C-alpha cells in the first residue's frame, strides 16, 4: 500500500487504499471524512463500497461537527472508536446514531487521521449486512493506513507547500465514480472536460483522468462559470490551468493545459470570448 499511495495521484490512491484495506477487513464500506481548520465542520471525501452496498459519500458536506460530537470527543484524543452495535449507542450519541441507522450501519469502526499533532480527518469501516467486532490486528492496520494517508495528503510538496491546505474554506465537491469507488474533487482541481460519444473524460490537476457518464451539457451547469469556459462543442476548460494559446495555424486554434500532453482545439464561435477571458 505504501509504495503506490505515494506514487499515484493522491485522491485516487486514498480511495484505492480504502478499497484494499476495507476488502481485506471484510467491511461493506470504507470511507474518509475531513475536518475544516477549526474542527467545527466536516465533509465526506472518499469512499469504497462493496458491490450492492449503497454509497452515501455525497450526503454529508460542510456538516457541523456537533452532529458527531460523541464520536469526535474520542477522535480528538487519538483514540479508535469501535461501535459493535449501532442500535445500542448511548443517548448522547443520538444524532450520530440516527445518521448511521439511515445508512443501514450495523457496526462502525473509526480511526483518527493526525498530521503534525493535529486532527485532520477520520477513516473507518461500516458493516451494513450484520453486526461484527473487528480484531485488534485490523484496528492496528487501519491506524497504519491513517498514518500513510496523513503523509500522502497533508505532507509537504518539494516546494514546501502542504498538499492539502486546511485553512481553505470548504467548497462543494464534484464526485467522480469508478466501480465501487467514489472520489470527491474540488472544481478547481479539474483541468478540463471533453465528451466522447456516451461519456466524458475529466482531466484532474494531479495528472489523472476519469471517465464519467454525465453529459457535457450537465457538466456545463456543474462547473463554476467564473473559471470554466466552453471552447468547443466537445470541450470545457479551466482557464486557471491554460498555459498557452496557439494561433499560428491560421484557421485552427489550440490551447495548452497544464499536465495535459495534447493541445485542445478551439472552435471559431468560442474564440472571441476565450481571448477576452485570457486577456490576449
- pLDDT score, position 160: 46
Q: Which long-range contacts (CB under 8 A, 24 or more apart) does 57-65 make?
A: 57/31, 57/175, 57/182, 57/184, 58/173, 58/175, 58/182, 58/184, 60/33, 60/99, 61/170, 61/172, 61/173, 62/170, 64/40, 65/35, 65/39, 65/40, 65/41
Q: What is the pLDDT of residues 112-126, one digit of tens each?
A: 999 999 999 999 999
- pLDDT score, position 166: 46
Helix axes 10-24, 136-154, angle to 10 degrees: 180
By three-state DSSP, how is residue 71 classified? helix
* b/e map 31-61, b = 16+ CB within 10 Å: bbbbbbeeeebbbbbbbbbbeebebbbeebb
- pLDDT score, position 5: 59
Q: Which domains does the chain have, with CATH numbers?
A: 2-154 (3.30.450.40), 186-278 (2.40.50.1020)
Q: What is the spatial distance between Cα 164 and Cα 45, in angstroms, rounded to a whole number?
A: 13
Among candidate residues 153, 237, 230, the one with its CA nearest the CA of residue 203? 237
Distances (CA, A) of 53 to 24, 127, 181, 189, 265: 16, 10, 11, 28, 41
- pLDDT score, position 249: 63
Among candidate residues 52, 47, 17, 19, the one with its CA nearest the CA of residue 33? 47
Mean pLDDT of the chain: 87
- pLDDT score, position 180: 64
Q: What percent of the chain has pLDDT over 90?
A: 55
pLDDT by 10-residue block (mean), the chain, 280 residues = 63 88 94 92 90 84 88 95 96 94 96 95 96 94 94 69 52 75 84 90 89 88 90 95 83 89 92 89
Q: What is the pLDDT of residues 38-85, one digit of tens each?
A: 898 899 889 999 988 988 888 777 888 989 999 999 999 999 999 999
- pLDDT score, position 161: 45
Q: What is the spatial distance between Cα 132 and Cα 125, in angstroms, rounded to a whole number?
A: 11
Q: Which residues pair with 47 in a beta bridge?
A: 31, 182
- pLDDT score, position 169: 58
Amino acid at each position: 500500500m505504501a509504495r503506490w499511495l505515494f506514487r499515484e495521484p493522491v485522491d485516487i490512491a486514498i480511495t484505492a487504499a480504502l478499497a484494499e484495506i476495507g476488502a481485506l477487513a471484510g467491511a461493506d464500506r470504507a470511507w474518509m471524512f475531513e475536518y475544516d481548520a477549526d474542527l467545527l465542520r466536516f465533509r465526506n471525501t472518499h469512499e469504497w463500497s462493496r458491490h450492492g452496498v449503497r454509497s452515501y459519500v455525497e450526503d454529508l458536506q460542510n456538516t457541523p461537527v456537533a452532529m458527531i460530537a460523541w464520536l469526535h470527543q474520542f477522535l480528538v484524543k487519538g483514540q479508535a472508536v469501535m461501535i459493535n452495535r449501532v442500535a445500542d449507542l448511548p443517548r448522547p450519541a443520538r444524532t450520530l446514531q440516527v445518521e448511521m441507522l439511515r445508512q443501514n450501519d450495523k457496526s462502525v469502526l473509526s480511526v483518527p487521521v493526525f498530521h503534525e499533532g493535529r486532527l485532520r480527518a477520520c477513516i473507518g469501516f461500516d458493516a451494513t449486512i450484520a453486526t461484527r467486532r473487528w480484531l485488534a490486528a485490523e484496528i492496528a492496520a487501519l491506524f497504519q493506513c491513517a498514518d500513510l494517508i496523513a503523509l500522502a495528503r497533508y505532507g509537504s510538496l518539494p516546494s514546501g507547500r502542504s498538499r492539502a491546505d486546511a485553512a481553505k474554506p470548504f467548497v462543494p465537491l464534484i464526485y467522480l465514480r469508478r466501480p465501487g469507488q467514489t472520489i470527491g474533487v474540488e472544481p478547481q482541481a479539474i483541468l478540463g472536460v471533453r465528451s466522447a460519444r456516451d461519456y466524458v473524460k475529466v482531466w484532474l490537476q494531479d495528472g489523472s483522468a476519469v471517465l464519467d457518464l454525465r453529459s457535457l451539457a450537465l457538466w456545463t451547469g456543474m462547473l463554476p462559470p467564473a473559471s470554466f469556459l466552453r471552447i468547443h462543442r466537445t470541450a470545457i476548460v479551466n482557464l486557471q490551468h491554460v498555459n498557452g494559446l496557439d494561433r499560428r495555424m491560421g484557421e485552427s486554434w489550440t490551447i495548452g493545459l497544464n499536465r495535459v500532453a495534447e493541445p485542445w482545439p478551439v472552435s471559431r464561435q468560442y474564440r472571441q470570448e476565450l481571448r477576452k477571458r485570457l486577456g490576449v
